[in-house]
A and B are shown apart, each in its own frame.
Chain A
Amino acid sequence: MSRYGPSCVDTIVIGAGPAGLATADVLSERGHRVLLLDEQIAPGGQIGRRAASSTGFERWPWPERYGITAPGRPRANSGRDGRENAFAALERPTVHYAPGSTVIDAVADDAGVRITWQQASTIDPSGHATGTHVHRVTLEPLDSNPEIRTATLDPSLPVRPLADTRAAALVLATGATERPLVFPGHTLPGILTAGALQALLKQAALVPAAGGLVLAGQGPLLLLVAEQVSRAGGRVEALLWTGPHGAYLRALPGLLRAGFAEPDLVREGARLLVSLRRRGIPLIDRIDALRAHGRERVERVTGRARGRSFAFDCGVLGIHDGVLPNTQLVRLLGLTLARDPITQDLVPRCDATGASSATRVWIAGDGGGIGGAPLAVLRGRLAGLAVHRSLTGPDRQLDERIMILARQVTSRRRARTWVDRSHPPLRIDRFADERTTLCRCEAVTLGEVRAAIAAGASGPNRIKTFTRCGMGTCQGRYCHEPLDRLLRQSTGEDRPQWLRVRPPLKPVLAIDYLAADSAGESTHDPMSEPSSLTRERAAAGTAPDDARSTES
């Protein structure tokens, strides 16, 4: 990890998961300086999630013990597990890794890209808890600022991310979020996503108490969570599989193809199914109705499967309906999205190397379309090579490597499509009724959104204006996809259109935001003691600015 601040870096990588770490590795290996921003408290992304420690991160025993392997590609001279150190980039002096860093604003225009981010004090790498700081990063066009790449870091400087950092390329490696499973009662406390159950295991070594866990939904991750929780001493009372009947059969030709291209993936799936059967976890499929009950928290889940009713008491209900690219930053930057031909999900448009619709912006890993962790490592490396090429110019050997890697990534992604084919997203009203919440933050129901559509709200942004759906604190992170699904399924309209994203991306204190602005090129040191103004803690500016909304 860098011990000096990056007043100028070659590349900013957002996200320290498998893709972002691989990009940072490739670039730093070639001498480029990288600012690696990550929102989480420790590197590794969701798959490599671990507890934080004073040395930056803890080598958590769980990954190996519970089959949660760190991402990496096999290399002959690597550690005993035959995998390269996925965290190699963090040890290079040219990489400045900033955990707990949340991007709150980003603008892309002719002048370049400008990013504003804040780093929480509790995970300040310097170890001094002094308050949250807001920083600005400017990504300037390379040609207008030739000195950017030649500026040198002063090793005598202490750790001090400057208020205004400049860079020449931006790589978004923001990963995936889970597709919400929408059903009556889904907002009750005690209902957590499959990813949240993994987070509890990987970061806090917690499992649901015996007799208390029911899982509902579909997708490989749900099976993996059932297996991991069981191995860690937990017990799954029932697995309620919501996948459409016959989907596996229809996806069989793809599965056979995948068997050749991605044998590890298919073997892992088969292993999970065998393991769940051996553990005797009751699997209930062909579900027509699903509902969670409880007063203060989830207490019971009921439904109907194969024409018969079922009911389970539960203290924790784990839900999952597949994963989606996290496009929050992509939409804020105004990059172009397109529909995935199989899932119909909105996916950033990018070429085989991850180059987005904006120059100098690349997208690596699941954030550019779901491919999984092993592929995210390759896509991260590919984006790294492409950025390297853009910084140093074309080179025959480099171009060849990029081409080979791009071809490999494309064919492996194609092979993986059987996963999407065998787990098609559910119709939004499969379990939900008119009173079911669609937008958690603003408590907007499915019925209210339907009424808005009937009244002429023709797109997601109009529905937002009519109903406040997507206008709450999460800024549509959760409801943008169910809203899109509802709109497509009730109007038949499937051209790509999406909820606009407004700054700030995450809550930020107005006073911190303004302080960063006024800092500009001054010598303001954000790592020093916070100003008295910061201590006064002005009201949080959490709501997106929708006054600027100009629906057309």
Chain B
Amino acid sequence: MPAYRSDLPFVPAADRAAREHDTVSFEVDGEVLVARRGETIATALLRHGRLAFGPHPVTREPVGPLCLMGSCFGCLCEIDGRPGSQACLEVVRDGLIVRTRIDT
């Protein structure tokens, strides 16, 4: 069971099933994060307090996911070398390498 920090914007639901779960670890921008098995890459990042996934390509202001269902494109990342991937539509798995929106 991973340790959770209390200053995070999202916390596990008040239920044993929410806290006890299998984990996978993956890499985001060089940092190793622990996620819940079966969740998406986007929720795994939100779990660790990452609300912003990178600078907006036009305004350079921080952007983050809005809809988590594949519509808003606020969660675009490079996933295992594939740019322009939607982090909310892919399951997190061990050894995955994610780079959040690359400043171009």
Contacts and interface: CB of A to CB of B under 8 A. Distances in A.
Given A199-B68, A440-B72, A207 B11 contact: yes
B74 to A, nearest CB: 7
A474 B73 contact: yes
A204 B39 contact: yes
A336 interface: no
A315 interface: yes
B89 A233 contact: no
Contact of A196 (B9, B11, B59, B68): B68
A189 B62 contact: yes
A40 B73 CA distance: 14
B84 to A, nearest CB: 4
Nearest to B5: A209
Main secondary structure of the interface of B (DSSP, over half): loop
Interface in A98-129: 100, 102, 120-123, 129
A209 B80 CA distance: 31
B58 interface: yes
Interface stretch (A362-370, A483-491, A536-544): A536-544
B97 interface: no
Nearest to A50: B38
B49 to A, nearest CB: 9
A150 B63 CA distance: 51
A234 B9 contact: no
B32 interface: no
Contacts of A152: none
Nearest to A192: B66
B10 A191 contact: no
A507 B89 contact: no
B36 A205 contact: yes
Interface string B59-91: 101111111111111101001111111101111
Question: What interface size band does chain A fall in?
Answer: 35 or more
B13 A234 contact: yes
A93 B56 CA distance: 45
Main secondary structure of the interface of A (DSSP, over half): loop
Contacts of B44: 204
B99 to A, nearest CB: 13
Interface string B13-41: 11101100100000000000000111110
A189 B63 contact: yes
Interface stretch (A51-59, A244-252, A387-395, A459-467): A51-59
A200 interface: yes
A58 B59 contact: no
A506 interface: yes
A520 B33 CA distance: 41
Contacts of A190: 9, 51, 64
A85 interface: no
A206 B71 contact: no
Residue in B36, B52, B70 with the greatest tally of chain A CB atoms within 10 Å: B70
B38 A507 contact: no
B69 A195 contact: yes
Nearest to A478: B72
A316 B52 contact: no
B10 A209 contact: yes
B40 to A, nearest CB: 6
Contacts of B51: 189-190, 297
A262 to B, nearest CB: 26
Contact of B90 (A100, A187, A210, A509): A100
B89 A40 contact: yes
Contacts of B63: 187, 189, 440
Contacts of B93: 122, 129
Contacts of A540: 82-84
Contact of B52 (A120, A196, A297, A542): A297
Contacts of B11: 206-210
Nearest to B64: A189
Interface string A193-218: 10110011101111111101000000
Nearest to B18: A205
A459 to B, nearest CB: 23
A212 B62 CA distance: 20
B21 to A, nearest CB: 8
A209 B39 CA distance: 19
B84 A297 contact: no
B26 to A, nearest CB: 11
A442 B91 contact: no
Nearest to B59: A443
Contacts of A53: 37-38
Nearest 4 pairs of A and B residues by beta carbon: A233-B14, A51-B38, A189-B64, A507-B84
Interface of A: 39-41, 46, 51-53, 58, 61-62, 65, 100, 102, 120-123, 129, 132, 177-178, 187-193, 195-196, 199-201, 203-210, 212, 232-234, 296-297, 315-316, 326, 440-443, 472-474, 477-478, 506-507, 509, 537, 539-540, 542
